[in-house]
Structure 1
Amino acid sequence: MHIVYVSDGKAGHRSQAAGLYQAVQRISRQSVTFQEISIEQLPLLTLVKGIISGRLKALEQAPDYIFGVGSHTQLRVLLLGKAYPQAKTVILMKPNFPVAWFDYSIIPEHDAVPESEKVIVTQGALNPIVNEQRHLQNRILIALGGPSKRHQWNDQKVLSAVRQIAESNLQAEIILTTSRRTPKGFLEQLQAQPFAGKLQIFPVEQTPQGWIFEEMQQAEAVWVTEDSVSMIYEALTAGCRVGVIQIDRLKKDRITQSVDSLMQKNLISQSAGMMQLAAPAVFKEAERAASIMVN
């Protein structure tokens, strides 16, 4: 089986495609190969010529599945599907085109698109994480985001939340990391707090690629600021207990509602104590989507 991924170069989109590809690998009885091809390598005129000739030089071999994530990939996925009609087209988002035009659209439930033969509804965007069952008792990861179009950062609220986590889990080893969006002066304030000695602090600039995924495999519990929605789903997929650090919302929309939905389902909690968090859930959305798609 050969999968072609039409890429717009965005890391978050690549992560979703990788999650689905790796899930297909895990469930498939045959070997699965993968080629990432950028939209720059697929000019529209070349694709039209490919439809006429039935092949494109840029592809290593004829695909069985064509993946796309991101608005700019959708038309190219459709045209590649015309050039290789035996391949199934898969778009990992709510498409701008009618869902009937693709073989499968894999859409997060917060987009409110009804499930159907061509629509697979998932809890959150897919990711490449699996639960490797390596979690260490009393190990906590705190992952901080930052201001966004939906959230306003409040230093004092976040400092208070981190203090409550530290003081509620006195026996725990606590690792804290930041993101590119964390305000520059926040760590300086954090390190001046009396409780900072309980924390092992790793600024994002000092962490190698893949570091936070490895930390999730080792953590028993992960607390995430609520602006980092993708990280909430990653921690759930890794098999951690998951807590959410509230920050001020600038508006309510489908993304904030997805966080509220996870709260209502008792998958995540605002509690500061590890034992007050929900027990780890079995969360395998990429494998579930892959199973529907392949079988």
Structure 2
Amino acid sequence: MHIVYVSDGKAGHRSQAVGLYKAMQRISNSEVTFQEISIQQLPVFTLLKGMLSHQLALFEQKPDYIFGVGSHTQLRVLLLGKVYPQAKTVILMKPNFPFSWFDYAIIPEHDGVAESSHVITTQGALNPIVNEQRHQANRILIALGGSSKRHQWSEEKVLEAIQNIVQHNPNADIILTTSRRTPKEFFAHLSAQPYANQLQIFPVEDTPQGWIFEEMQKAEAVWVTEDSVSMIFEALTAGCKVGMIGIDRLKEDRITQSIDQIIQSNLVSDRASIQALPKPRTFKEAERVATYLLAQ
């Protein structure tokens, strides 16, 4: 079984496609291979020519599935589906085209689209994480985001939340990391706090690729600022207890409503101690979707 992934070069989008591929690889009884093709390698004219011959020279083998994530990949996925009509087209987002033009659209529940023969809904975006059962008691990871189109960074709220986590978990090993959206001056302000010596601080610039996924495998609990929705679901998938650090909201929409909903459903909590967080649940959205696709 061969999967072709049409890539727009964005790491978050690639993570979703790889998550589904890895899940299909784990579940399938046959060998599953994966080829990543950038949209720059797929000019529309080349695809239109390929529709006549039903082949493209740059492909290692004929695909069984064609994945795309991101609005710029959608047209290429559709045209590739015409070049290779035996392949199933899978778009991992709410598409701009009619859903029925794709074999499957995999859409997070917060987008408010009902399931159908062409639509599979998921809790959050898919990711490549599995729970490796390596969590260490009293090990905490704090992962900070920053401002976004719906959130405004609040240094005061974040510092207060970190202080509460430190005070409520006096015997814990606490690892803290930032993101590329975290204000640059925050690191200096955090380092000046009296509780900073109880933290192991790793700015995102100093962490290698895959570092945060490895830390999730070791942490008993992960606290995430609420702007980082994908990281919340990554921590849930890793099997961690998950806490939420609230920051200011610029607007209310389906994303912020989904954050409130996962708190209300007791998947995550805004409490500050490990003991007060909800117990981890089995969270395997990529495997659930892969099982469905392979069964069709």
TM-score, with structure 2 as normaliser: 0.99
The match for 2:121 is 121
User: In structure 2, what residue type is equivalent to 1:215?
Assistant: E
The alpha carbon displacement at 1:189 in A equals 1.0
**Structure-2 separation of matches of 1:211 and 1:246:** 24
The alpha carbon displacement at 1:148 in A equals 1.2
Q: SS of 1:293's equivalent?
A: helix
User: In structure 2, what residue type is equivalent to 1:278?
Assistant: P
User: In structure 2, what residue type is equivalent to 1:19?
Assistant: G
The match for 2:142 is 142
Q: SS of 2:79's equivalent?
A: helix
Q: SS of 1:74's equivalent?
A: helix
Q: SS of 1:212's equivalent?
A: helix
User: In structure 2, what residue type is equivalent to 1:183?
Assistant: P
Percent identity among equivalent residues?
A: 73
Q: SS of 1:48's equivalent?
A: helix
For 1:15-34, what per-residue CA distance to the aligned partner results, in whole angstroms no more than 9, with x for missing partners? 10000000000110000000
Q: SS of 1:148's equivalent?
A: coil
User: In structure 2, what residue type is equivalent to 1:213?
Assistant: F
The match for 1:101 is 101
**Structure-2 separation of matches of 1:45 and 1:194:** 61
The match for 1:265 is 265
The alpha carbon displacement at 1:147 in A equals 1.1
The match for 1:288 is 288
For 1:152-173, what per-residue CA distance to the aligned partner results, in whole angstroms no more than 9, with x for missing partners? 1111111110000000000100
**Structure-2 separation of matches of 1:154 and 1:110:** 24
**Structure-1 separation of matches of 2:154 and 2:50:** 53
Q: SS of 1:63's equivalent?
A: coil
Unaligned runs of 5+ in 1: none
Q: SS of 2:137's equivalent?
A: coil
Q: SS of 2:224's equivalent?
A: strand
Unaligned runs of 5+ in 2: none
**How does 1:4-15 map onto structure 2 within 5 Å?**
4-15=4-15
**How does 1:144-293 map onto structure 2 within 5 Å?**
144-293=144-293
User: In structure 2, what residue type is equivalent to 1:91?
Assistant: I
**Structure-2 separation of matches of 1:48 and 1:152:** 44
The alpha carbon displacement at 1:255 in A equals 1.0
The alpha carbon displacement at 1:6 in A equals 0.5
Q: SS of 1:138's equivalent?
A: strand
The match for 1:21 is 21
**Structure-1 separation of matches of 2:9 and 2:201:** 30
**Structure-2 separation of matches of 1:223 and 1:54:** 49
**Structure-2 separation of matches of 1:99 and 1:293:** 16
**Structure-2 separation of matches of 1:194 and 1:72:** 47
Q: SS of 2:60's equivalent?
A: coil
Q: SS of 2:116's equivalent?
A: coil
The match for 1:85 is 85
**Structure-2 separation of matches of 1:54 and 1:185:** 54
Q: Does 1:38 align with 2:38?
A: yes
**Structure-2 separation of matches of 1:294 and 1:116:** 17
**Structure-2 separation of matches of 1:185 and 1:45:** 48
Q: SS of 1:120's equivalent?
A: strand
Please, what is the CA RMSD of the aligned residues? 0.6
The alpha carbon displacement at 1:254 in A equals 1.1
Q: SS of 1:142's equivalent?
A: strand
**Structure-2 separation of matches of 1:79 and 1:155:** 47
**Structure-2 separation of matches of 1:105 and 1:293:** 11
May I ask how many residue pairs the two structures share in their alignment? 295
Q: SS of 2:21's equivalent?
A: helix
TM-score, with structure 1 as normaliser: 0.99
Q: SS of 1:221's equivalent?
A: strand
For 1:162-185, what per-residue CA distance to the aligned partner results, in whole angstroms no more than 9, with x for missing partners? 000000000100000001111111
Q: SS of 1:137's equivalent?
A: strand
The alpha carbon displacement at 1:225 in A equals 0.4
Q: SS of 2:14's equivalent?
A: helix
